[in-house]
Amino acid sequence: MTFEAFAKARVPLLLRTAVALSGDLGLAEDLVQDVLLKTHQRWDQISRLDAPESYVRRMLVNEFLSWRRKWARILPQDNLEVVDQHPDHAAVHADRQLLRDEIDRLPKRQRAVLVVTPPLSGWREQTEYAAA
């Protein structure tokens, strides 16, 4: 039997076994893919066994246990900071509108000061003309 024929015949069974082990179709597909890759690399030896199906199924179980041990060492943390690289434009617009509304509540002279005042960073190095 060739590896291609073996894989075609056994993938559905291996996938069902992997889903039963992991409970997740995506993880099961990854497990089966990794096991088939390892099986293909050693097919000359595996094909000569009395029950290559059982051997490959055992490889699948061992691979799942290895993955589970690997991911069990990684402890999830709940203090992750979410950094939004692309802020929501609606939120930016809402923030601007909120700022405009607050500025509109100020008396005219205080509003004028906000408009004329230069930015804080580097304003001392600027001339009066450049700051205005």
- Percent residues over pLDDT 70 in the chain: 78
Q: Please check the confidence at residue 83 and state whether its pLDDT lies above 80.
A: no
2 backbone dihedrals φ, ψ, rounded to 5°: -85, 165
Local confidence band at 88 (pLDDT 50, 70, 90 cut-offs): confident
Domain residue limits, the chain: 3-72, 90-131
Closest CA to 118 of 99, 129, 132: 132
**Candidate ranges 42-56, 67-81, 83-97; pick with highest mean pLDDT:** 42-56
Residue 48 dihedral angles phi and psi, to the nearest 5°: -85, -5
pLDDT of residue 49: 93
Mean pLDDT of 52-67: 93
Radius of gyration from C-alpha coordinates of the chain = 32
- The answer on pLDDT for 9 being more than 60 is yes
When pLDDT is cut at 50, 70 and 90, the band that residue 68 belongs to is confident
| Cα–Cα distance measured from residue 67 to residue 24, given in angstroms and rounded to the nearest whole number | 13
Model pLDDT for residues 11-35, shown as the tens digit of each residue: 999 999 999 988 889 999 999 999 9
> Within 13 Å of residue 124, how many CA atoms lie on the same side as its CB?
1
